[in-house]
Structure 1
Amino acid sequence: MRGQGPAFEEFVLASTPTLHRTAVLLTGDPHTARDLLQEALLKAWRSWGRVTGDRVAYVRTIVVREFLTQRRRRWHGERPTEELPEQADTRQGADLETSLTLADAVRALPPQQRAVVVLRYFHDLTEADTARTLGLAVGTVKSHHSRALAALRVSEHLDDVVAGGKGRLA
């Protein structure tokens, strides 16, 4: 295990931003995403010597599967509040509003549908790659994808965006 240290450290430094964004998209919370990523990296580190091929895809698979597993566990810790502290954001006006409403709509999806949307649109994975990452059949991924898009089309979070002519969901 000692020989994998520098290679793993380099991997973590290079891939953490991308993997963290994936975790944030899945969890909807940067702090929970950090915890999720830490657990995934710990699992990856344990088997790092056996990993071949695309290491980012390998760890991304761990992140997604860990997210889906954690969603099934009961947890009685912190509860989100209605009022959030101010957050600095460089985006302005309508772009920020559209981004927030889309994020709210995606967060409202069930976990598996959310995972499919994140993998298909954020990571631009094919249906087959998404199925492989989630450990599902391609037909199941297609069903989740179709249901997620249908839910997003009727989402109350996106009513103003679509009605205002700012966008349209395919």
Structure 2
Amino acid sequence: MAKFKKKKSKPTLGTDRLKKDSVREEPAGIPNTEKPEPVPDTPSVDPSINTDEKNEKDKKLNKLFWLRVGLAVLAGTAATFIFEDIEGEDRRWASIGFMIVIFMGTIIVAKGMKMQLPSSDRKKLVTQGIGSYVFIYLFVWILSYTLVHTGSMSSGIPSPIS
């Protein structure tokens, strides 16, 4: 409820008796606070979700996450060697397409894991670990490409003329 400040002016004559009967006077310096709502004793967890089911779901989502991280490392390394013959921009787009195909494969594997997810969590099959997958794939791809081609590329810095 909204609390209103008390008037500090003196009341008009004749209304004192009405105020004493209908309104309880409070000290001006202490604000009136509302009583907190009683907290129910029942737990807030939905009883339809069993803790064992939740633990199993979390284990499977964790397994899916690490599967995607491992595949990102393997696919990023493999992309260095698979697309060796392709030159320029085509190599980049082929590697990104390869990354997407591998990720689609993990979605199929995730559906095969038969996770019992509520309808609100169905998108977790796709979104679980997607950021880690993409960034680890790109990092490993760039790192492995750099390590493989370190000696064969020029540094781009001109050598000093003697």
TM-score band by shorter chain is under 0.3
Structure with greater helix percent:
1
Structure whose alpha-carbon radius of gyration is higher:
2
TM-score, normalisation: structure 2: 0.26
TM-score, normalisation: structure 1: 0.25
